[in-house]
């Protein structure tokens, strides 16, 4: 076999030989594969987030959801008040962020110092004095466009502010620093109330009946 025939045979063998896997793997191909994998992962995470958002229904909220949002807001405000008290008790005493009790809330409402009120749903409104106080607070809030947030029980309200055994009402005088928690509480409560209204009309042919 001469040199020319030998060269042709080697070339033919190279063409017929199946390429090895590592011959396809180059630094450039590795970078491309890693980039594609990253893009695929990001796309999957985005789809997962979209799926979670699609599953969330603001009108499937319960009273517990509303309570949790309100308590979270209340605790955040109290945390700021406690922190201010530790730094300067005298100054903090003259600048309360929240006050407790129907009588004190009524007083602060008349002084126009209240930003919002939290009331327990289980206040004994069958007692004339309590019923009158609650009605007065509701009227003042309505006339001054002050929001009322309703929480399920006095025990939950008392526990949220570390007051034993119960607290019927809390007035928020200053919620700076907790605006996000306030907005979340208001939105959750609004959605829950809307859910309740829809439930009340399920037996009617129209929501406007």
Per-domain boundaries in the chain: 61-200
The third-level CATH classification (topology) of the domain covering 61-200 is 60s Ribosomal Protein L30; Chain: A; (3.30.1330)
Question: What is the side-by-side strand order in the sheet with 116-120?
Answer: 98-100, 169-172, 116-120, 147-151
- Count the neighbouring beta carbons within 10 Å of the beta carbon of residue 116: 20
Question: What does the pLDDT read at residue 206?
Answer: 37
Question: What does the pLDDT read at residue 94?
Answer: 82
Round to whole Å and give the CA distance between 65 and 61: 6
Please classify residue 68 by burial: count the beta carbons closer than 10 Å to its beta carbon, then call 0-12 exposed, 13-18 middle and 19+ buried. Answer: middle
Question: What does the pLDDT read at residue 133?
Answer: 93
Q: What is the pLDDT along the chain (209 residues), one digit of tens a residue?
A: 555 555 555 555 555 555 554 544 455 554 555 666 666 666 665 554 443 434 445 556 788 999 999 999 999 999 999 999 999 988 888 889 999 999 999 999 999 999 999 999 999 878 888 899 999 999 999 999 999 999 999 999 999 999 988 999 999 999 999 999 999 999 999 988 888 776 665 544 433 33
Question: What does the pLDDT read at residue 164?
Answer: 84
Q: Please list, in sequence order, all residues whose beta carbon lies within 8 angstroms of the beta carbon of residue 124, skipping any fewer than 6 positions away.
A: 130
Rg of the chain on CA atoms, in Å? 33
- Count the neighbouring beta carbons within 10 Å of the beta carbon of residue 70: 26
Tokens 């979270």 found at: 72
Q: Nearest Cα to 173, choosing from 105, 76, 71? A: 105
Question: What does the pLDDT read at residue 24?
Answer: 46
């Amino acid at each position: 076999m001469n040199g020319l025939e030998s060269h042709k045979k080697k070339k033919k063998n190279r063409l017929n030989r199946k390429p090895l896997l590592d011959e396809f793997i180059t630094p450039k191909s590795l970078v491309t594969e890693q980039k594609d994998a990253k893009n695929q992962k990001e796309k999957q995470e985005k789809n997962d987030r979209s799926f979670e958002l699609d599953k969330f229904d603001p009108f499937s909220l319960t009273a517990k959801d509303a309570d949790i949002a309100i308590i979270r807001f209340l605790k955040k405000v109290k945390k700021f008040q406690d922190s201010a008290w530790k730094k300067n008790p005298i100054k903090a005493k003259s600048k309360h962020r929240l006050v407790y009790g129907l009588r004190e809330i009524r007083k602060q409402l008349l002084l126009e110092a209240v930003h919002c009120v939290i009331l327990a749903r289980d206040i004994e409104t069958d007692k004339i004095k309590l019923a009158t106080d609650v009605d007065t607070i509701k009227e003042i809030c309505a006339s001054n466009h002050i929001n009322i947030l309703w929480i399920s029980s006095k025990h939950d309200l008392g526990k949220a502010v570390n007051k034993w055994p119960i607290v019927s009402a809390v007035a928020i005088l200053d919620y700076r620093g907790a605006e996000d928690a306030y907005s979340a509480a208001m939105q959750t409560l609004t959605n829950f109330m809307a859910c309740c209204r829809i439930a009340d009309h399920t037996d009617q042919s129209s929501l406007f009946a």
